[in-house]
């Protein structure tokens, strides 16, 4: 899976380089993607790794602690090597922390789990709503996850208008997911916005279990699991690009 990650980086760079050349040749303007391409290239050239394990034999005991150790406006690829286990955490990666990778063991993938729903009240007393119900929320760009299970275990009556329970929300751009699983009932995967890539992933859910405004490529993702409902039809609310 690490080779897939490297291939994605290489493809991304070549794509922007080609776009830059074409724009300069035919439109005589500066390349729109040149700045991003340079940032990505620089980030990959100085990547570092941090270890996470609940047994204490690592740099950090939780994923949240590892993320909090990364300085704002990070400019290098930071790979979190996450040991097998069940991590009961609500994770939010802010926009100021791009280039983060979650890398798990392909033989025993770590699970990141939570049980928030849209109708749960947050710390400020306001309802979380769908947007903030996610177990893992990624607001930064260039996020990568390899061999990770994302889940929301909340009980949600199928068809409920107030109990959406998101396993993962991706709101940055240019994220990639390889050999990952997403488990939930309603609104499992919130592909909020941006351009993303999903390969060899498993997604389980019922109503709107993939939704959002993202323009993502889903390649060899199977099976989709529709949880049965006697009261409402299952809806695939997503346009695959």
Residue 116: phi and psi, rounded to 5, are -75, 150
Given the residues 59, 124, 208, 237, select the one marked as catalytic.
208
How many angstroms separate the Cα of 130 from the Cα of each of 11, 163, 177, 196, 211?
Answer: 33, 8, 22, 20, 11
Q: Shortest CA distance to 180 belongs to which of 229, 213, 119, 138?
A: 138
Q: Shortest CA distance to 209 belongs to which of 230, 229, 195?
A: 229
Q: What would you measure as the largest C-alpha separation in the chain, in angstroms?
A: 59
Q: Within a 10 A sphere around the Cβ of 28, how many other Cβ atoms? A: 7
Residue 89: phi and psi, rounded to 5, are -140, 150
Look up 105 and say whether it is catalytic: no
Q: Which residues contact 161 (CB under 8 A, 6 or more apart)?
A: none
* Catalytically active residues, by annotation: 208
């Amino acid at each position: 899976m690490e080779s897939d990650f490297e291939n994605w980086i290489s493809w991304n760079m070549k794509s922007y380089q080609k776009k830059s050349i074409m724009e300069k040749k035919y439109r005589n303007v500066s390349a729109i993607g040149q700045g991003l391409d340079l940032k990505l290239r620089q980030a990959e050239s100085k990547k570092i790794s941090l270890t996470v394990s609940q047994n204490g034999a690592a740099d950090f005991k939780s994923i949240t602690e590892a993320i909090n150790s990364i300085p704002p406006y990070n400019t290098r690829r930071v790979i979190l090597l996450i040991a097998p286990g069940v991590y009961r955490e609500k994770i939010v990666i802010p926009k100021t922390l791009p280039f983060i990778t979650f890398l798990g063991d392909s033989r025993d993938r770590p699970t990141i789990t939570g049980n928030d729903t849209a109708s749960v009240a947050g710390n400020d007393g306001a309802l979380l709503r769908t947007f903030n119900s996610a177990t893992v929320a990624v607001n930064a760009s260039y996020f990568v996850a390899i061999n990770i299970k994302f889940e929301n275990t909340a009980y949600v009556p199928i068809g409920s208008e107030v109990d959406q329970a998101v396993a993962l929300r991706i709101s940055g751009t240019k994220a990639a997911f390889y050999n990952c699983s997403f488990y939930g009932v309603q609104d499992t995967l919130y592909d909020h916005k941006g351009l993303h890539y999903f390969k060899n992933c498993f997604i389980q859910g019922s109503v709107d279990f993939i939704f959002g405004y993202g323009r993502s490529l889903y390649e060899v993702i199977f099976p989709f699991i529709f949880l049965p409902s006697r009261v409402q039809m299952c809806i695939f609310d997503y346009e695959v690009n």
